[in-house]
A and B are shown apart, each in its own frame.
Chain A
Amino acid sequence: MSRELLASQKNHSGIVLDPRTKLAVLTTIAVFILGGSYEGVMQYYIIVLAAIPLLLLLLAGKWKGAVLYLLIFGGSLCLELFGLSYLTGVANFIAVAIVGLFLRFTPGIVMGYFVVTTTTVSEFVAAMERLHLPQQITIPMSVMFRFFPTVAEEWSAIGDAMRMRGVRFGGGKAGSILEYRMVPMMICSVKIGEELSAAALTRGLGGPVKRTNICKIGFRAQDIVLLLICLGAFAAQVYVWAARG
């Protein structure tokens, strides 16, 4: 029943990466694959970047995800390279759009999936603290991770009540659906937020001393390799710009 935004238990399989590395890879993929221009050498480099999530999924033993990713991304890539020229007119237009969407979006989505399923909340908070983000950011972020699963539970309970009371689209009360959803939702969320804050304060959160964190994170060889690859992407992009003049 639980819906979690980040993993709540340590995932012992696969290679151990620092959360900061995972975020760096995610950002790089988002910048160059999702938003990049695919000029010059970059069109080859993005394949290297796209291979990272595949590798990570395989190492973590997530076979189903890896195969699915390989099929979608690899298939789209083959189509773009060899298949699209055979199509004409509207069919070509639609195929180009779909293949383009898949190519640009899947690596980021898969990497995001990897990040959220293998990072625990405490690791994430520790990483933010190491990045020297101020308490004003780290505390609300960590509350958020705790708050969302609880709100998701509330959301589904309200959904149940709506189904049971026959409030649904086409039931004659469709206009009020949003209101029926939001009023109890807001009241429950405010209550939970208040109780959560009170509980945290009685455990000394927000005190004048510097918080410690027992979660061990740090860079290892594999982190450095991945970070270098990310750095390479930025270097290649700069090179492309320089060559263009």
Chain B
Amino acid sequence: MIECRDVSFSYPASGPVDGKCLTEGALKHITCTIEDGSFVLLCGASGCGKTTLTRLLNGLIPHYHEGTFTGSVYLDGKDTRELSLFEISQKVGSVFQNPRSQFFNVDTTSELAFGPENHGLPEKAVRERVRRVAEQLKLESLLERSIFSLSGGEKQKIACGSAAAIEPDIYVLDEPSSNLDTYAIADFRKLLMLLKAQGKTIVISEHRLYYLRDLADRVLYMKNGEIRGDYTAEEFQSLPAEQRDQMGLRPLELNSLRNIAAPCDRGGDSEWNIRQFFFAYKHQPETLHIDEAVFPFGGATAIIGHNGAGKSTLSRCLCGLEKRCGGIVRNQDKIYSRRERLKLCYMVMQDVNHQLFTESVLDELFLSMSTEDQAKAEAVLAEMDLLPYRERHPMGLSGGQKQRVAVASAIASERPLIVFDEPTSGLDLFHMRQVAEVVNRVAEHGRTVVVVTHDPEFILRCCNFVIHMEHGEIQESYSLCKPEGREHLLEFFLNDME
């Protein structure tokens, strides 16, 4: 049993603060009890304290993350302050958001053995644990593999297995689905069902609610560091959809997205034409094979498909980032070679930290402009609601603000094609809609937007054309302006869930 008694926590202030950073993720007077064997879903907008609460349960607070901590958390009646992180690790298994930074070994079997090894189990027992966990959680096919060769979904399954190998009674998962596609999520859901069937206590913080709909026994809704709602599964499902929407929560059912109208009043007077896009990584089979593809000039085009279908490769080839992928891109009578595409396209990367280089937001825009034009830069910043931050260091901004800085510098670069690589993974409803709004604004400027994404609601809110890829080829492409197109898009996502 987990008990939180009047817990308050705040992180130490870091970087430039305007009152906002201080409260980000802080908790205020949390009191709750989580019974053994229950499946608890933590939901709420970004920065509401979900992640902080999971850190309290797995002992990273107070033993790893520093801050002001009052009140107490009890695991089976013992105060986490008095337990060491090592002792807590025997009771609580953790799975984190980022699959890239939660593995310690480079092969899967060692990773599963890692926990039991740390706990000093005899060698034979460790091997037995690895075998048993692999069997119970159906991970046999993933054993003896290189971590680097796994897909995101497979990585999250191994992360779960690695937590399970210690045989804890409690599992704490922090947004495990952020980097997964709908198909991988459905697969991951099965693994959660297995854990639930074993009678484990599971606490999961998540934005995407639809896949947990019939798993969760209890839903805790958090806002501004407080628990504002404590629902049973039935109560939560019977809330009217509008109310969940107001709470800033993603829909429980993808079906409810049918009513969103795609923006269709723009672009389409000419089209982009892609030819001869072939690409293979060294010593690997071909990952991209496109003879010809067409998408409208202006407006926004979504590239969908399963993990490994070649979506990211296509976007990289489009931007001219893959040296061994030639091919041409044509608009009316203008033809762009790979080198020219480096100046034609602007990519807003999934991790925007990679592309912000300068000391202030304004400099970031100047870097993109051929001549530094202060008035124009400020106009773009105003458009993106960034004007008050123009002198700030980009790395000191919040995630969403950083993304908008990247978009602003894309607009300032005056390039006609702007590519977004999974801009909404791990975003809550409010921030996802904000990004959709940004995409709409960019499209209204007459630019063409291409978005690689797994997010159906996001697509419906800002895209008017879809390219569906599978196995490196284009399976189909269609317009979202007709209801049939939207229906078809939803079908793709709904099929994956089964």
Contact = CB atoms under 8 A, between A and B. Distances in A.
Interface of A: 1-2, 4, 6, 8-10, 120-122, 142-143, 145-146, 149-150, 153-154, 157-158, 160-167, 173, 176, 179-180, 183-184, 187-188, 191-192, 195-215
A198 B60 contact: yes
Residues of B in contact with A, size category: 35 or more
Contacts of B162: 203
B21 interface: no
Given A4-B106, A196-B101, A214-B117, 13 more contacts: A6-B106, A10-B144, A122-B110, A158-B354, A160-B316, A164-B346, A179-B357, A188-B354, A202-B92, A203-B163, A212-B120, A214-B123, A214-B127
Contacts of B149: 2
Interface stretch (B39-47, B82-90, B270-278, B483-491): B82-90
Interface string B90-122: 101110101011111111001001111111111
B367 A196 contact: no
Nearest to B284: A1
B146 interface: yes
A198 B90 contact: no
A121 B85 contact: no
A187 B357 contact: no
A9 B142 CA distance: 12
Contacts of B349: 157, 160-161
A212 B117 contact: yes
A207 B119 contact: yes
Interface of B: 58-60, 63-64, 84-86, 88-90, 92-94, 96, 98, 100-107, 110, 113-123, 126-127, 130, 144-149, 162-163, 166, 281, 316, 319, 321, 342-343, 345-347, 349, 351, 353-358, 367-368, 395, 409, 413
The main secondary structure of chain A at its interface with chain B is helix
Nearest to A196: B101
Contacts of A142: 104
Nearest to B367: A165
Nearest to A209: B120
30 contacts: A6-B106, A9-B145, A10-B107, A121-B110, A143-B104, A146-B104, A149-B106, A157-B349, A157-B351, A160-B316, A161-B354, A163-B342, A164-B319, A165-B409, A184-B357, A187-B353, A188-B351, A191-B101, A191-B353, A192-B100, A199-B94, A203-B162, A203-B163, A204-B119, A211-B118, A211-B120, A212-B121, A213-B117, A214-B130, A215-B110
B137 to A, nearest CB: 16
B205 to A, nearest CB: 15
Contacts of A165: 346, 355, 357, 367-368, 409, 413
Given A154-B354, A183-B395, A196-B102, A164 B92 contact: no
B354 A205 contact: no
Contacts of A206: 86, 118
Contacts of A188: 351, 353-354
B94 to A, nearest CB: 4
B114 to A, nearest CB: 6
B264 to A, nearest CB: 30
Given A205-B104, A207-B120, A184 B354 contact: yes
Nearest to A213: B117
Contacts of B92: 202
A195 B107 CA distance: 19
A9 B355 contact: no
B90 A204 contact: yes
A191 B166 CA distance: 26
B107 A122 contact: yes
B342 A202 contact: no
Nearest to B395: A187
B106 A8 contact: yes
Contact of B101 (A199, A202, A208): A199
Nearest to A203: B115
A214 B105 CA distance: 13
B86 A207 contact: yes
Contact of B114 (A173, A184, A203): A203
Contact of B146 (A2, A173, A192, A197): A2
Nearest to B149: A2
A207 B120 CA distance: 9
Given A9-B145, A121-B106, A183-B395, A161 B355 contact: yes
B106 A212 contact: no
A184 B355 contact: yes
Contact of A212 (B58, B122, B319, B343): B122
B96 to A, nearest CB: 6
Contacts of A145: 106
A167 B85 CA distance: 45
A180 B92 CA distance: 41
A197 B347 CA distance: 31
B100 to A, nearest CB: 6
Contacts of B321: 160, 163-164
A201 B166 contact: no
B119 A122 contact: no
Nearest to B115: A203
Contact of A195 (B59, B98, B147): B98
Given A184-B355, A203-B89, A203-B115, A167 B96 contact: no
A167 B120 contact: no
A199 B147 CA distance: 15
A209 B107 CA distance: 24
A122 B316 CA distance: 35
A180 B106 contact: no
Nearest to A160: B321
B94 A202 contact: yes
Given A8-B148, A9-B145, A150 B101 contact: yes
A187 B118 CA distance: 29
Given A2-B149, A164-B346, A204-B119, A9 B100 contact: no
A212 B59 CA distance: 24
Given A163-B321, A164-B347, A184-B354, A214 B113 contact: yes
B355 A122 contact: no
Contacts of A161: 347, 349, 354-355, 357
Contacts of A166: 342-343
A190 to B, nearest CB: 11
